[in-house]
Amino acid sequence: MGDGAVYHPILLMRAQLDFDPAVPEFTISDAGRDVDLYTGLFRTISGFDGKLLARFREDLAAGGYEPLGGDATSQFLERIVVQLSPQAQFKRDALPRADADPPRSGAIP
């Protein structure tokens, strides 16, 4: 990924990592916390309207989206992308490109 692109999640979900030395194995489980938006990423966008962030959070809370939530989550992320820029693109089968002009977001397969 030495092309200067920044790859960063938009949705964050806390996970709990447990180790069982008797097996030995690691288990990753849901930490029981709500999914949240990575707001710091939006604040780096020049001219970003804070009202959009409030709408994104309301939509996230109402929809119950998760990082691995399938089509419903992809549709939520697509709505975010097109609100960031009318020329922005959401590619379901492509890596996101932060350095693209216009911005492009995608789901990592």
Reported confidence tier of residue 18, pLDDT bands at 50, 70, 90 = very high
Average pLDDT, stretch 27-42?
A: 84
Amino acid letter, residue 25: E
pLDDT value, residue 15 = 87
Characterize the bridge pairing of strands 25-30 and 15-20.
antiparallel
Say how many C-beta atoms besides its own lie within 10 A of residue 79's C-beta: 14
pLDDT value, residue 73 = 86
The tokens of 63 are what?
Answer: 């929809």
- The lowest-confidence range among 18-22, 30-34, 74-78, 80-84 is 80-84
Helix (H, G, I), strand (E, B) or coil at 77: helix
**What is the value of pTM for the model shown?**
0.65
pLDDT value, residue 19 = 96
- Displacement of CA 63 from its chain's centroid (Å): 14
